[in-house]
Every structure is written in C-alpha cells, then in structure tokens.
C-alpha cells in the first residue's frame, strides 16, 4: 500500500533516480500538481525543485532509524 505524500513528509528518491546529487533523505517543502520541491530535513534550504512525485517514496521510519544511530543524535 502506497501512502499519499504531502508537504512535510520525509522522502528519498527511488533507486533508479537516486544518482549523484539526488542521494539521501529530503523533506517535501511544497507540492504543485505532479511535482514537488525537496529541501533539508532540519532547516529551510531547498535543494531540488520541480521533482516529479513519481520519483520519490516516503521513508520517515527508515530515516529516523538511521538518524537515531548517528553521532549527532547520540550527542543530544
């Protein structure tokens, strides 16, 4: 079952599109029609504009698991 994506969701690009600068986790900053803007999870920076929604997949649980094992999280 695929969940409906909305502004504020943590996403990553599907494997076939995640090359070069598109690797990693992003937060959806806005959705306009069939496209979205991808920005930083913490902060206001927008990294990619006009990315087709069919390229992204929601992965908040996966991101949180990775984040909770990071050194930054452990030092909080």
Rounded to two decimals, what is the model's pTM?
A: 0.86
pLDDT tens per residue, range 16-51:
887 878 889 999 999 999 999 999 999 999 999 999
Give the DSSP per-residue string, 18-55.
--GGG-S-EEEEEEETTEEEEE-SSSS-EEEEEEEGGG
Contacts 24+ apart (CB under 8 A), 13-18: 13/51, 13/55, 13/56, 13/57, 14/55, 14/56, 14/57, 17/55
Under the banding of pLDDT at 50, 70 and 90, the label for residue 2 is low
Q: In the prediction, which pLDDT does 1 show?
A: 40
Q: Where are the domains of the chain?
A: 10-74
Please give the mean pLDDT across all residues of the chain: 90
Is pLDDT larger for residue 74 or for residue 53? 53
């Amino acid at each position: 079952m695929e969940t409906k994506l909305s502004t504020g969701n943590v996403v990553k690009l599907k494997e076939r599109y995640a090359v070069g600068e598109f690797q990693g986790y992003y937060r959806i900053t806005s959705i306009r029609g069939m496209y979205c803007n991808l920005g930083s999870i913490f902060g206001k920076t927008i990294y990619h504009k006009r990315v087709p929604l069919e390229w992204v997949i929601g992965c908040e649980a996966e991101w949180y698991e990775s984040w909770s094992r990071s050194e930054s999280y452990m030092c909080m």
